[in-house]
Amino acid sequence: MEKEIIVALDAMGGDLAPVETVKGAVDAVKELGNVKIKLVGLEEAVKKELAKYSYPEGKIEVVPATEVISTDEVPTMAIRRKKDSSMVVGMQLVKKGEADAFVSAGSTGALLTGALLIVGRIPGVERPVLGTCLPTGRDFTFLVDSGANVDCKPKYLEQFAKMGAVYVENVFGKKNPSVALVNIGAEKEKGDTLTKEAYELLETSDLNFTGNIEPRNIPFGEADVVVCDGFVGNTILKFAEGLSKALVGIIKEEITKGAYKIPAAMLLKPFKKVKKSFDADEVGGAPFIGLKALVVKAHGSSNAKAFKNAIRQCVLFTEADIVGKIQDKL
Amino acid sequence: MEKEIIVALDAMGGDLAPVETVKGAVDAVKELGNVKIKLVGLEEAVKKELAKYSYPEGKIEVVPATEVISTDEVPTMAIRRKKDSSMVVGMQLVKKGEADAFVSAGSTGALLTGALLIVGRIPGVERPVLGTCLPTGRDFTFLVDSGANVDCKPKYLEQFAKMGAVYVENVFGKKNPSVALVNIGAEKEKGDTLTKEAYELLETSDLNFTGNIEPRNIPFGEADVVVCDGFVGNTILKFAEGLSKALVGIIKEEITKGAYKIPAAMLLKPFKKVKKSFDADEVGGAPFIGLKALVVKAHGSSNAKAFKNAIRQCVLFTEADIVGKIQDKL
């Protein structure tokens, strides 16, 4: 029998916790093979929620934590002071070898800070990177860095690309993934100092580097991995969120009003399908890659499906020994 | 009688030149009051096109140029070598005081380079800035810098904001326009070194500064002017273009296919209206601000309406003495 993967889940993280975190854990142990979940959080609340379900015995364990870090706390302060928070306790399990990976939908800042301090970087990794799957209709493109590191050096971008490629190949099963550099022009000599120097590094690496990608081509999935600094990546991610919302709103209004009068009811199903094709829950969260174990930042509004899929990422990551593969690659 | 404004128009610039450039010039002299157009380009081609129209006598003059700069030429080389190109000749007219402003839909790189070399900066302006109107459904937000300057200093961003505010107030008539800094977090302490330092400068300026704007809020028009470096601005601009196209494609497909089967014909009009609300031609181009005269970069696919509206920007800019107002503001 394969080694059982142990995933610690922050039962208190996210807008819908602990209802959806607990349900996600139950779904995960039922649907995924060799995984055990350690649900970390306020003992009474978590156990009460867990009592609603039946699941394979011994597959879920509740690990008590008496504090919760909220999203409006200053990350470093929160991690240092709330030693018995679900987030800190969960990452301590990973550090002590009592869990293989950690998932949380709590404060992004606190999670990234805590992951660096508690789980720690793989030796040789300059900066761990946050990767996010950007939907491209039927598929997705993997955006690194989607927000963990501002003020980057060219070398960081090269490492982001390598870690992203290893992740996409092993967790999402895309062989020899193509990698492109986000830039404001297609030609090699375009861009700012950072991208020009990063281009040189990527070009001479062993990656399947396809050159610059202009942002207008990102939504069409022209590369499996797109690399940029965390300021640009986070801008793309958040702008995509806002523009999609604005555009869908305007289109709905135009179609249903005035002279055209297509009944809004006729649009419910197709718009639901469009929404699904841009559904972040299908992936389950943004992996923070380059640490000694996987830490997944699930979206604040994650539901049970998102948590289950985040847990699935942890299982695939651990089984494929991505930490070892990243060490080899760098 | 008011002083007549003379606008030089690159008759050869853009995908639809000289047909649409000439028509735009004719529409402009018919519809706008006190403007005269100098159409710069290959004499025979421009005169042949112009012969199709009637227009107020003396309002359009053809200025011959024997060369054309193409979009695939290296900007600095093209500007230096093609002294008799429509772009260089047009900007020389401005330099010599024979025209008040210049409009071109030709190579962006060549235009920005030539504008700096030939038209020249207003003393005190560190870097002229490219401003683009980003549609927000019924209105727009003015994005500075939308692509002229990468590797920016905080001081540049402060100047971009000031020039953008003067432009929006005087050309688009928005009194005391609100200005926000594009950043990956709403709080003051968020962002990279550049945005943190720019925030300090903007906060203590005399602008109507409203703080950081997260990219997800840009499409909802929460600020009249949004400021960022040219790499981030150009990324937003190009990503918006691609994502809109991708999203509209997916929505159209979902609505018309399968079980829902809303006839595509029923959607033509509403989608046309959505397109119109995102129509760059309504504005007519991106002004390059901070030079001794206005230079407008019209989109490569500009039609007559776009050129007419670009010319209108030149008239408003010159009448309002924006060069003087920028000098006062900085």
DSSP code of residue A83: T
Q: How many CB atoms lie within 10 A of CB A278?
A: 18
> Looking at residue A235, what is its pLDDT?
96
- pLDDT tops 80 at residue B2: no
Question: B225-227 and B140-144 as β-strands: parallel, antiparallel, unpaired?
Answer: parallel
pLDDT tens sequence across B65-118: 999 999 989 999 999 999 999 999 999 999 999 999 999 999 999 999 999 999
Mean pLDDT of A237-259: 80
Please count the residues of chain B.
330
Q: Which residues of B touch A234 (CB under 8 A)?
A: 184, 215
Beta strands at B101-104 and B294-297: parallel, antiparallel or unpaired: parallel
In chain B, pLDDT over 90 holds for what percent of residues?
A: 78
Question: Does the pLDDT at position B260 exceed 60?
Answer: no
CA dihedral A76, A82, A84, A87 (to 10 degrees): -40
Q: What CA–CA distance (Å, rounded) separates B101 from B285? A: 13
Task: Tell me the pLDDT tens digit for each residue of A154-213.
Answer: 999 999 999 999 999 999 999 999 999 999 999 898 999 999 999 999 999 999 999 999
Tokens of B301: 């696919």
Q: Centre a 10 Å sphere on the Cβ of residue B19 and count the other Cβ atoms it contains.
A: 15
DSSP H or E segment with residue B132: strand B129-135
Q: Give the integer Cα–Cα distance in Å for B231 and B236.
A: 9
Alpha-helical runs (H) found in chain B:
19-31, 43-50, 75-81, 86-95, 108-114, 154-171, 193-203, 230-256, 264-277, 304-319, 322-329
**Lowest model confidence (mean pLDDT) among A50-64, A246-260, B130-144:** A246-260
Q: Which is nearest to B315 in space by CA: B94, B102, B96, B115?
A: B102
Q: Does B247 touch chain A (CB under 8 A)?
A: yes
Residues A271, B251: C-beta atoms closer than 8 Å? yes
ipTM of the complex: 0.89
- Interface residue A150 vs chain B (CB under 8 A): yes
> Residue B258 pLDDT > 90, yes or no?
no
Q: Domain A1-125+290-330's class?
A: alpha beta
CB contact under 8 A, B238 and A184: yes
Cis bond before residue B18 (omega within 30° of 0): yes
Which stretch of DSSP H or E encloses residue B35?
strand B35-41
A34 contact B CB<8A? no
Does A36 have pLDDT greater than 80? Answer: yes
Residue B268 has pLDDT above 90, yes or no: no
**Could you tell me which residue, A292 or A269, shows the higher pLDDT?**
A292
The mean pLDDT of A107-125, rounded to a whole number, is 96
SS3 A321: coil
Interval A130-157 mean pLDDT: 92
Class of the A129-278 domain?
A: alpha beta
**C-alpha pair distances (Å), B213 with each of B185, B221, B223, B257:** 8, 10, 8, 38
Q: For residue B330, count CB atoms less than 10 angstroms from its CB and return exposed for 0-12, middle for 13-18, buried for 19 or more.
A: middle
Measured between CA atoms, the residue of chain B closest to residue A235 is B215
pLDDT per residue as tens digits for the range B198-242: 999 999 999 999 999 999 999 999 999 999 999 999 999 999 988
Asked if pLDDT for residue B1 goes beyond 60, the answer is no
Mutation pick from B196, B226, B247 vs chain A, by most beta carbons of A within 10 Å, is B247
- On the question of a common fold for B1-125+290-330 and B131-279, the answer reads yes
**What confidence score (pLDDT) does residue B294 get?**
95
| Angstrom distance (rounded) from CA A154 to CA A192 | 11
Within 117-136 of A, beta carbons closer than 8 Å to B belong to 136
| A235 interfacial to chain B (CB closer than 8 Å) | yes
Instruction: Give pLDDT, residue B181.
Output: 98
- Rounded Cα gap, residues B51 and B285, in angstroms: 26
- Could you give the count of Cα atoms lying within 13 Å of A47 in the half-sphere of its Cβ? 7
Mean pLDDT value across residues A3-15: 95
Q: Considering chain A, what percentage of its residues have pLDDT values greater than 70?
A: 92
Q: Per mean pLDDT, which range of A80-89, A107-116, B128-137 is the poorest? A: B128-137
Identify the pLDDT of residue A261: 62
Look at B242 and A269 and tell me if their CB atoms are within 8 Å.
Answer: no
**Residue A154 at interface with chain B, using a CB cutoff of 8 Å:** no
- Chain A to chain B Cβ contacts (< 8 Å): 159
Mutant choice from B231, B234, B241, B279 vs A, greatest count of A C-beta within 10 A: B231
A270 touches chain B (CB under 8 A): yes
A213 close to A232: Cβ distance less than 8 angstroms: no
Mean pLDDT of B280-302: 88
Helix axis angle, B230-256 relative to A230-256, nearest 10°? 40
- Amino acid code (one letter) for A188: K
Q: Which residue of A has its CA nearest to B138?
A: A250
Yes or no: say if B131 and B147 are a contact pair by the CB < 8 Å rule: no
Q: Band the pLDDT of A100: cuts 50, 70, 90.
A: very high
Confidence of residue B246 (pLDDT cuts 50, 70, 90): confident
Quote the pLDDT of residue A278. Answer: 59
Domain range summary for chain A, segments of one domain joined by +: 1-125+290-330, 129-278
Chain mean pLDDT for chain B: 92
In CATH terms, B131-279 corresponds, of 3.20.20.70, 2.60.40.10, 3.40.50.300, 3.40.718.10, to 3.40.718.10
CA A108 – CA A118 distance, rounded (Å): 15
Q: Is the pLDDT of residue A280 over 70?
A: no
